[in-house]
Structure 1
Amino acid sequence: MSTLSKKSPLHDVHTELGARFTDVAGWSMPLCYASGPAEHHAVRTTAGIFDLTHLGEIELSGPEAGRALDHALAGEPSKAAVGRTSSSTLVHETGAVLDDLLVHRLAGQRYLVVANAANTLIVLSSLRDRIDGYAATIRDASGDWALIAVPGPKSPEIVSELADVDVPLLRYDAIGPARLADHDVLLARTGRTGEDGLEIYCRPQDAVPLWRAVSAAGAEHGLVPCGLACRDTLRREAGLPLYGRELTVRTTLFDPGPGRPSTAAGPDHFRREQP
């Protein structure tokens, strides 16, 4: 693996746990630990813990941030309520898929767009071009966040032991500020495994203590560290398409496939005049 690979703040923890690493868009990330199938089974029956820090985060804010996103992406992300998450897609004007995205609405006119690692710069550049003329600002916020995912049927119970919010009462797709193991985080009830789960957006310097706290709380429930190999098998088993696998530039929103990443936009979606 290239010595130039970017490393998650959790890299040393993964090394301690015996992870096998793989390169993901220039990031050195865990592929698996002891056994990919065992990790897959744990998420389906108890819980797993993943490092997803390689994913890209892009923040949009300003008086017209919602209208700008509605113009730039398939579907209408601005229709999500504050504190909710929507799935969306960045598409070419021909309808070709450029990336599948999550859009978190953090405040009235503040959004966090989560992109696949390999496409973060493409998404950032495309959004900058498409929101030109709107009263909105955009920035790459990837360096602000580490991301820990805890999917599995036991995940709400595990995270509840550490949180200052009633995790089981959080509805799916909810996101908001929380205090977790004495650290400020954004806590989202989202995921890409087909299981219930939580995703923890935290400051990079808080990633290690949060990982250790969640791991300790989950030990009695059977939580295990999981690599990206089983994340892929989990989402495939659940029929969730991913850019770079089922979705490519040869895919359009009008093609049949295993589920839809967003509300489809017409082929002239990005040719329309700004209102």
Structure 2
Amino acid sequence: MTDPRITPLHDRHVALGASFTDFGGWSMPVRYSSDLAAHHAVRTAAGIFDISHMAEFIVRGRQAGAFLDYALAGRLSKLVDDQAKYSLVLDPDGGIIDDVIVYRHAEDHLMVVANAGNREAVADALLDRARAFEVEVEDATDRIALIAVQGPASQAILEATDAIVDLAAPLGELKYYRMTHARLVLAGAEPVAIDIGRTGYTGEDGFELYVPASSAPEVWDALMRAGEPHGLVPAGLASRDTLRLEAGMPLYGHELSRDIVPAQAGLGRVVAIDKEDFVGRSGLAAVVAAGAPVLVGLVSEGRRAGRAGYAVLHGDEVVGEVTSGALSPTLGHPIAMAFVAPSAAETGTQLALDVRGTRIPATVTALPFYRRTT
């Protein structure tokens, strides 16, 4: 068995007392002290996450936009410089290989950010689909580290970080799903260029910093110093999962898989079905009327939450299965996402969860469960 990989920030996590787990082939921090404290910090102040396990692919060439229009579900050729877009990599049958974010640096230079566990699958798909286009696809994962600062204080923290200088655009003017650029100045090293996206996976305002892997520890330290007066805390996978669940954001392997087509997961809007051609188009057309289960939100009372794999009941009939669930730290009651039969998916429908043999009433609700107000 191959040992999991470690990120450039592994030693920082060890020094902070993190506990680790194998996630997508990487040894990643689950929590430092309290995952609940980290969750609340992101909602009220800020949390810092090491997400360097994510995979980055650089696409260059005069047909870069046309290539990604064909390779992915969305219309990426319409992006403007420094804009980002959520998209999907589909297989020919319309199933989801991965969900990704695409950033455009220039007309002939884009970046695709994929999930760690799907790095090889996405690499294979992009390289295979690039054959008919004048583009080059580079796997840049090993030279890029990715650090996220998420929460209401995130902008103030980045603005106070002395290692980040010469911002191309003020952070206060940066819109959601846009990117800016800066220089990173560290003692004893030449300045280097970094990219900063106003993106995240928590439902809060925040930023994701793409920095050279060799500089990641010093960047982490600089952010921690700047964030201390603002309540910044290190946050791991446990809090990241409850944050994204409250925000109704899917997790690959739970709400997304090759057995799920976008419309089932509420992602039909992500697919530019009117494009002339893209991988998965014919498969999607074949399953539009299949009546497959659809993703819904579920809320219940008490303290017992449904977990992935638990059955969803309508009367005495099993109508679906929970994909993710937790006792919401922000809302104070159990929440879950589940795939259920379309006949049981209408908002307000009264269902039940089989929680280890106990029937727990649950109500279908619109996603997301939580939405920030500012």
Note if 1:26 corresponds to 2:25.
yes
Note if 1:176 corresponds to 2:175.
no
Asked which structure has the greater CA Rg, the reply is 2
Q: Aligned AA for 1:29?
A: M
Task: Report deviation, 1:201.
Answer: 0.6
Q: How do residues 109-188 of structure 1 correspond to structure 2 at under 5 angstroms?
A: 109-162=108-161, 163-164=164-165, 165=167, 166-180=170-184, 182=186, 183-188=192-197
Task: Report deviation, 1:75.
Answer: 1.0
Note if 1:203 corresponds to 2:212.
yes
Q: Aligned AA for 2:26?
A: W
Task: Report deviation, 1:156.
Answer: 0.5
Contact 1:178 1:185 in 2 (8 A): yes
Q: How do residues 1-275 of structure 1 correspond to structure 2 at under 5 angstroms?
A: 4-162=3-161, 163-164=164-165, 165=167, 166-180=170-184, 182=186, 183-257=192-266, 262-265=270-273, 269-270=278-279
TM-score using structure 1 length: 0.93
Task: Report deviation, 1:266.
Answer: 7.2
Query: 2:202, 2:235 → 1: CA distance?
Result: 12
Question: What are the Cα deviations for residues 134-176 of structure 1, in whole angstroms up to 9, with x where unaligned?
Answer: 1111111101201100000100011011233221221111123
1:13–1:260 distance in 2 versus 1, CA, 3 Å: farther
Query: 1:181, 1:234 → 2: CA distance?
Result: 32
Contact 2:93 2:280 in 1 (8 A): no
Q: Aligned AA for 1:170?
A: L
Query: 2:41, 2:48 → 1: CA distance?
Result: 10
Contact 1:71 1:131 in 2 (8 A): no
Task: Report deviation, 1:179.
Answer: 2.0
Question: What are the Cα deviations for residues 180-210 of structure 1, in whole angstroms up to 9, with x where unaligned?
Answer: 4545311111111111101111111110111
Task: Report deviation, 1:245.
Answer: 1.6
In the alignment of these two chains, the number of paired residues is 271
Q: Aligned AA for 1:133?
A: A
Contact 1:97 1:253 in 2 (8 A): yes
Higher relative contact order (CA 8 A, sep 6+): 1
Q: Aligned AA for 1:239?
A: G
Q: Which runs of 4+ in 1 moved over 6 A?
A: none
Contact 2:75 2:272 in 1 (8 A): no
RMSD: 2.0
Task: Report deviation, 1:261.
Answer: 7.7
Question: What are the Cα deviations for residues 223-267 of structure 1, in whole angstroms up to 9, with x where unaligned?
Answer: 00000111111011001112112111221012154x668235479
User: Which has more strand, going by share of residues?
Assistant: 2
| SS across alignment from 2:152 | coil
Q: Tell me which moved more, 142-151 or 3-12.
A: 3-12
Contact 2:103 2:112 in 1 (8 A): yes
TM-score using structure 2 length: 0.69
Contact 1:95 1:266 in 2 (8 A): no
Structure 1 residue runs of 5 or longer lacking an equivalent are: none
Contact 2:32 2:236 in 1 (8 A): yes
| SS across alignment from 1:254 | helix
Question: What are the Cα deviations for residues 33-68 of structure 1, in whole angstroms up to 9, with x where unaligned?
Answer: 101111000000000000001000011100101100
1:247–1:261 distance in 2 versus 1, CA, 3 Å: farther
Structure 2 residue runs of 5 or longer lacking an equivalent are: 187-191, 282-374
